[in-house]
Every structure is written in C-alpha cells, then in structure tokens.
Amino acid sequence: MTRISIVIATYNAADTLERCLDSITSQLGADAEVIVIDGGSHDGTIEVLSARQRELGFWLSEPDKGLYDAWNKGVMRAQGDYIAFLGADDALEPGAVRRLCELTSCGSDLISFKGKVVAADGRSLGVIGKQWSYRGVARRMGICHPGALHARRLFGQVGLFDPRYRVAADYEWMLRLPPSTTATFVDEVLVRIQDGGVSRKRKLVTMKEYWRIQKDCPRLGLMWASWVFVDRMWRPYVARALRMHY
C-alpha cells in the first residue's frame, strides 16, 4: 500500500535536485513514492531525472503554467493516501519518510511538523511551523507547508490549486478547507527548507497576493484583507531589527 506520495516541482533545478532526491530516495520503501513534475528545463535537470528514473514513481517534463500547475499534475498522478509537496531545493531529514508514513495512521486531514530554514551555505536561519487551524489560517498559513501531508481526499472535496495565483495558491487552497478539517501537528523537525523560494524572496509580491486571496475569500473579505496587509507590512522590519527569521 502506498501511504505517501512526495511531489516535487522543478524548473532548471539541476544544482539542487540531486541533493533533494538523495534525501528521499535512500529512505524509500513500498509505502512511499516520489513524483517529479518538471516545467521543461534546459539546464541538466532532465538528465538528472533520466539517470534516476528507477527511483521515481513517475516523472514528466513539459511546459506548464508554474509551480501550482505542476503540483496539480502531481496530485493527479499520486497513488498515496497522503500527498506532500517539496521544492527542488528542500530536503527531508534522515528518517523522515518512515516517520511520515507512521504519522498517517492518525487519519487526520492535514499532518504537519516543523521545518529548519537554512541559507545556501548551510547556516541555520531558524525553525518554522505551527499547528494548523481553521481560524488561524484566516490570517496566515502558519504551518510549515514543505513536506506537510495532505489527505488525498481533500483534493476531491475542495479541488486542486488555483494556478492563477503564482506564489500563494497553497494558501488560497487552505482557505477553501471546511471547518470540519482535522489537523495533527508534530513538534519535530522533519524537513530542511533552503531560504530563497519564490514566496520568501518576493515578500511584497506574496503579501499582495495574500491580500487578493483574502479579499476574494467569502469568509474574510476586503476589510479583513486590508487589516492583515497593513499589519504584515511592519513585521519584517521588526524581525530584522531583532535578527529573527520572518
């Protein structure tokens, strides 16, 4: 039985993909699979995937509409009861695949944990990740999303990611989840996240997209979206002054 599917979206990621795959494939058993959806790379990514195709459950390379379009393709190919999403520059901690498979026994809709944010040179920049809640997500995602487990049934209930959003479609998807959604949080670091992802590099773009998403969300609206936008504007400056990762 395939318990988890790990979906990785790539585009010109040859420099980091090997490291990402090394952190996963050495741990794989019959209860986990890796799916890689590439957006038509031309930097050596295809050669990496071709050389390692026996370790992959499925891989595909073709032009797409961005990260979330690739994730949607991965969801459609996934065989696992739970689906996790990773960036090509992320990596699972040793033993994480076994631990993730164990965690699926709780049966929750969402299963999350902590992630260590690291610089390109390996320096630790902090740890992120909190319990997901229906009320809490109204303000921000909160959970450490890379590697978090999503019950595949959720995509049947609320649909796939909306690729019109370029950097925060995962947040918009979580706002669609019903209040009956069950969530489990494990206070363990199971993933390493390299600082520099789209949403981390382009914070203003991300904040504007959050505003659009919250404005259009039936349970939030314009007033809430505007208040959250203003509130988030000053937080990076405070975090920088306190030398905190934000």
Cβ-count burial of 54 within 10 angstroms (0-12 exposed, 13-18 middle, 19+ buried)?
exposed
Q: What is the mean pLDDT of residues 81-98?
A: 96
CA atoms of 163 and 174, how far apart (whole Å): 14
Question: pLDDT tens across 22-64, in order?
Answer: 999 999 988 999 999 999 999 999 999 999 999 999 999 999 9
Identify the pLDDT of residue 237.
Answer: 56
Global pTM reads: 0.90
H/E stretch holding 86 reads strand 82-87
CA atoms of 206 and 169, how far apart (whole Å): 10
DSSP 20: H
Identify the pLDDT of residue 240.
Answer: 57
Give the max Cα distance, the chain: 52
Per the model's pLDDT, the better-predicted residue between 119 and 174 turns out to be 174
Residue range(s) occupied by CATH 3.90.550.10 in the chain: 4-196
Q: Which of 29, 25, 84 is nearest to 49 (CA)?
A: 25
Question: pLDDT tens across 124-178, in order?
Answer: 889 999 999 999 999 888 899 999 999 999 999 999 999 999 999 999 999 999 9
Strands 183-194 and 110-118, by their bridges, are parallel
CATH number, span 4-196: 3.90.550.10
